[in-house]
Amino acid sequence: MKTKVKPNEAIELKSQLARALADYDNLRKRTEAEKGIWLKFAKQELLIKLLPILDTLEVAQKHLGDKGLEIAVNQFRDALKEEGVIEIEAGKFDESLHEAIDTSTGGTEGDVAEVVAKGYKFNDGTVIRHAKVKVYKGENKDE
């Protein structure tokens, strides 16, 4: 025995189905966005652990001048670039990118005088590790 669906019921059922499909699509989009956030967080946590290794390799390369080590350091840097990681530039001091660990005289106030430890960020601007820098300060004439 077939049950007849009234026209109003059919419209209501179609409306409920459309809402359910829209809810499902929104859930799928939200889940994908959250997955992306978690992947970026995991990548960032791994990079925080790997960057000191790169620092050590660069210092060793600077002192040894070994060609094989130079190749390894360049491969490491290339891998970071492929993952969207870029080195933070020195330039003008920016507290969102730099951590001032000392001051220096002789340059333009507010400019980075020296990079003590390199900093890195993702292409989107998210800082992985702040650059540790020395910053020029102005001469104090009252001293």
Model confidence, pTM = 0.71
pLDDT at 141: 46
Fold of 87-143: Nucleotide Exchange Factor Grpe; Chain A, domain 2 (2.30.22)
Consecutive 10-residue averages of pLDDT for the chain (143 residues): 74 90 92 88 90 94 93 95 93 94 91 94 93 85 44
Sequence spans of domains, the chain:
87-143
pLDDT at 1: 59
- Which three-class secondary structure string do you get for the chain? CCCCCCHHHHHHHHHHHHHHHHHHHHHHHHHHHHHHHHHHHHHHHHHHHHHHHHHHHHHHHHHHCCHHHHHHHHHHHHHHHHCCEEECCCCECCCCCEEEEEEECCCCCCEEEEEEECCEEECCCCEEECEEEEEECCCCCCC
pLDDT at 106: 86
